[in-house]
């Protein structure tokens, strides 16, 4: 029988908050099991680092400009092809439980799924409303537990003669980072270390960095902080206090995901399903955990671009495999089909990662990737629209800084600017070397590569 596939995706979970990724700020023993018993991808990147678009990429195997979901305000068109439909047609039982965030109602409901039970919009952490096959119901409890409960119930009731494809999409650890009672006091007596670029002053960067409204010291609101700011703190003390409030709640939400992934893995063991089930864990994109003084994502900078991605499949993958080759969210879709032994439609833009998991990197494998963030100056975070290319050593970003009619954008063009980072010398991305004559040849090469990639992915806007 073809492999069963469980795809677990959390929302805004940075690799830096997974201990298997050498994260220094927390422990995730259950998630680490996937890396220890399977493969860890160290260079997995998102092609458009924002919730709704990344989900659409994974579902369709197409970049944002071709799947019709460029921004948070766009909705999926369920009448179009998606990977669940391919799997369903091949005899798989298909289900999605948890966060959908691609619109709902009418043609925006999940299609290709035998069973779906989704959070409307962003969903709630406590006593969430969910839409089960079109019917709204409120559950009591904590979202991460409930989503796991519903997934396990579906597994229990499935047809055991057929393989399954199950997407488990957590709301956590998305803003406003509300932990459950069980984890509410974790880290209470600890101080979580601040990242190296915590006090970034955005000097010599494009104007976009300074303009963004996602600063720990300024842009966390009362709902985020959940406690009044203590009196008498200096400016830097207040920033540190806010960071501790933010990061501890974030990590508490992650701890609940970790527990629930453990519940699922235990279930697979108890049901003798572990060997023949591919279990994948990722997040829809990365997140800033205080790097550059920020929370949130959107930028092509490393912390936001990078996705944790770990896969366990004991029937095939050697334990503790580490893959350095570049993987993208657009590659997940053909990977599902490859594991299911279903033909990959030529229209899909990614490539299966399955050979890489077995230590075989094809000679022609990608060594560069194309990124684009479309929402110019969204009213909350104010990040400028940009696109760029990342290679193994460099990153070139072009802030074209215009709305171009995309939803959720502000029609307020800014002067276009470039950034170049030498990731070997400056992994923190604090020295823009675009104007450094020593990098003139690199700039020329990367601009050509950017053009080549734009043609290849068919983005001509
Ligand atoms: Ca997200």
| Domain CATH for 254 | 3.40.720.10
Compute, in angstroms, the gap from residue 7 CA to the centroid of ligand 1: 16
Compute, in angstroms, the gap from residue 253 CA to the centroid of ligand 1: 14
Q: Identify whether the C-beta of residue 309 lies closer than 8 Å to the C-beta of residue 227.
A: no
Within a domain: 210: no
Tell me which residue of 384, 401, 396 sits closest to 433, measured CA to CA: 396
Within a domain: 305: yes
pLDDT at 78: 97
Which of 333, 355, 377 is a domain's end point?
355
Q: Identify whether the C-beta of residue 37 lies closer than 8 Å to the C-beta of residue 198.
A: no
Q: Work out the angle at residue 342's Cα, subtended by the Cα atoms of residues 52 and 359, and round it to the nearest 5 degrees.
A: 85
Question: Is residue 25 located within the same domain as residue 146?
Answer: yes
Question: Is residue 258 located within the same domain as residue 314?
Answer: yes
CA distance 45 to 323: 13
Compute, in angstroms, the gap from residue 346 CA to the centroid of ligand 1: 28
- How many CA atoms within 13 Å lie on the side-chain side of 157? 10
Strand 277-283 and strand 4-10: the pairing is parallel
Compute, in angstroms, the gap from residue 12 CA to the centroid of ligand 1: 4
Compute, in angstroms, the gap from residue 285 CA to the centroid of ligand 1: 6
Q: Is 113 exposed, middle or buried (0-12, 13-18, 19+ CB in 10 A)?
A: buried
Question: Is residue 339 located within the same domain as residue 419?
Answer: no
Compute, in angstroms, the gap from residue 445 CA to the centroid of ligand 1: 32
Q: Work out the angle at residue 9's Cα, subtended by the Cα atoms of residues 42 and 430, and round it to the nearest 5 degrees.
A: 45
Compute, in angstroms, the gap from residue 437 CA to the centroid of ligand 1: 37
pLDDT at 450: 98
Within a domain: 42: yes
Compute, in angstroms, the gap from residue 51 CA to the centroid of ligand 1: 4
User: What is the sign, positive or negative, of the torsion defined by CA atoms of 295, 298, 304, 307?
Assistant: positive
Within a domain: 400: yes
Compute, in angstroms, the gap from residue 362 CA to the centroid of ligand 1: 30
Within a domain: 150: yes
Compute, in angstroms, the gap from residue 52 CA to the centroid of ligand 1: 7
Compute, in angstroms, the gap from residue 175 CA to the centroid of ligand 1: 9
The span from the first CA to the last CA of the chain, in angstroms, equals 44
In DSSP notation, 366-418 reads -SEEEEEE--TT-TTT-PPPEEEEEESSEEEEEE----TT-TT--S-----EE
pLDDT at 22: 83
Domain around 322? 4-179+245-355
Question: Is residue 278 located within the same domain as residue 337?
Answer: yes
Question: Is residue 92 located within the same domain as residue 172?
Answer: yes
pLDDT at 207: 98
Within a domain: 63: yes
Compute, in angstroms, the gap from residue 309 CA to the centroid of ligand 1: 15
Compute, in angstroms, the gap from residue 401 CA to the centroid of ligand 1: 22
Q: Identify whether the C-beta of residue 64 lies closer than 8 Å to the C-beta of residue 329.
A: no
Compute, in angstroms, the gap from residue 423 CA to the centroid of ligand 1: 24
Within a domain: 411: yes
Question: Is residue 173 located within the same domain as residue 99?
Answer: yes
Q: Where are the alpha helices (DSSP H) in 327-368?
A: 329-339, 354-357
Structure tokens, 256: 């609940």
CATH code of residue 382: 3.30.1120.10
Question: Is residue 158 located within the same domain as residue 38?
Answer: yes
Tell me which residue of 199, 213, 227, 276 sits closest to 410, measured CA to CA: 213
Which of 355, 377, 403 is a domain's end point?
355
Within a domain: 349: yes
Q: Identify whether the C-beta of residue 315 lies closer than 8 Å to the C-beta of residue 339.
A: no
Question: Is residue 154 located within the same domain as residue 290?
Answer: yes
User: What is the sign, positive or negative, of the torsion defined by CA atoms of 83, 86, 89, 92?
Assistant: negative
When divided into structural domains, the chain yields a total of: 2
Structure tokens, 88: 């369903």
Q: Is 205 exposed, middle or buried (0-12, 13-18, 19+ CB in 10 A)?
A: buried
> Tokens 């734009």 sit at which residue?
454
In angstroms, what CA-CA distances link 440 with 433, 437, 445? Answer: 9, 5, 9
pLDDT at 1: 78
pTM: 0.98
Q: Which residues pair with 321 in a beta bridge?
A: 39
CA distance 327 to 334: 12
CA 145 to chain centre: 20
Q: Which residues 6+ apart lie within 8 Å of 441 measured at CB?
A: none
pLDDT at 228: 97
Structure tokens, 245: 């409030």
Contacts 24+ apart (CB under 8 A), 441-446: 442/394, 443/396, 443/418, 446/389, 446/391, 446/394, 446/396, 446/420
Compute, in angstroms, the gap from residue 208 CA to the centroid of ligand 1: 20
Question: Is residue 260 located within the same domain as residue 325?
Answer: yes
Question: Is residue 166 located within the same domain as residue 102?
Answer: yes
Compute, in angstroms, the gap from residue 146 CA to the centroid of ligand 1: 19
Helix (H) or strand (E) holding 57: helix 51-60
Q: Which residues 6+ apart lie within 8 Å of 402 measured at CB?
A: 376, 385, 413, 414
Compute, in angstroms, the gap from residue 304 CA to the centroid of ligand 1: 10
Q: Which residues of the chain have pLDDT under 50?
A: none
Structure tokens, 367: 């060594």
Which of 355, 387, 408 is a domain's end point?
355
Question: Is residue 159 located within the same domain as residue 267?
Answer: yes
Question: Is residue 384 located within the same domain as residue 314?
Answer: no
């Amino acid at each position: 029988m073809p492999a069963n596939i469980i795809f677990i995706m959390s929302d805004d979970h940075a690799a830096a908050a997974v201990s298997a990724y050498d994260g220094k700020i927390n422990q995730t023993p259950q998630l680490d099991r996937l890396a220890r018993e399977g493969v860890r991808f160290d260079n997995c990147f998102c092609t458009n680092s924002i919730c709704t678009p990344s989900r659409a990429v994974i579902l369709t195997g197409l970049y944002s400009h071709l799947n019709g979901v460029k921004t948070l305000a766009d909705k999926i068109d369920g009448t179009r092809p998606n990977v669940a439909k391919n799997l369903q047609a091949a005899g798989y039982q298909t289900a999605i439980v948890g966060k959908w965030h691609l619109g709902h109602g009418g043609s925006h409901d999940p299609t290709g799924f035998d069973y779906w039970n989704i959070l409307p919009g962003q969903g709630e952490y406590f006593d969430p409303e969910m839409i089960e096959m079109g019917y709204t119901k409120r559950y009591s409890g904590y979202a991460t537990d409930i989503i796991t409960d519903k997934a396990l119930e579906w597994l229990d009731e499935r047809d055991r003669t057929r393989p399954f494809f199950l997407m488990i999409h957590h709301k956590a650890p998305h803003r406003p980072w509300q932990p459950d009672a069980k984890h509410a006091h974790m880290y209470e007596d600890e101080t979580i270390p601040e990242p190296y670029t915590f006090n970034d002053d955005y000097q010599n960067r494009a104007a976009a960095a300074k303009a963004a409204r996602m600063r720990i010291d300024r842009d966390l609101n009362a709902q985020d902080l959940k406690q009044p700011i203590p009196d008498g703190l200096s400016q830097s003390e207040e920033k540190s206090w806010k960071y501790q409030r933010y990061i501890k709640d974030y990590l508490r939400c992650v701890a609940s995901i970790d527990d629930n992934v453990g519940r699922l893995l235990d279930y697979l063991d108890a049901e003798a399903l572990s060997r023949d089930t591919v279990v994948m864990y990722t997040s829809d994109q990365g997140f800033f955990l205080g790097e550059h003084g920020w929370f949130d994502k959107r930028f092509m900078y490393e912390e936001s671009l990078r996705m944790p991605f770990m896969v366990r499949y004991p029937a095939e993958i050697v334990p503790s495999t580490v893959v350095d080759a570049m993987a993208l969210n657009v590659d997940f879709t053909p990977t599902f089909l490859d594991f299911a032994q279903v033909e990959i439609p030529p229209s899909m833009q990614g490539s299966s990662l399955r050979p890489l998991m077995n230590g075989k990197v094809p000679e022609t494998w990608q060594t560069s990737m194309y990124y684009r963030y479309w929402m110019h100056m969204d009213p909350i975070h104010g990040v400028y629209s940009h696109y760029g290319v990342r290679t193994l050593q460099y990153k070139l970003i072009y802030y074209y800084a215009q709305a171009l009619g995309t939803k959720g954008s502000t029609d307020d063009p800014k002067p276009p600017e470039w950034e170049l980072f030498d990731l070997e010398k400056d992994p923190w991305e604090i020295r823009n070397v675009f104007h450094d004559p020593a990098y003139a040849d690199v700039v020329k090469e990367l601009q050509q590569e950017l053009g080549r990639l734009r043609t290849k992915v068919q983005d001509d806007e």
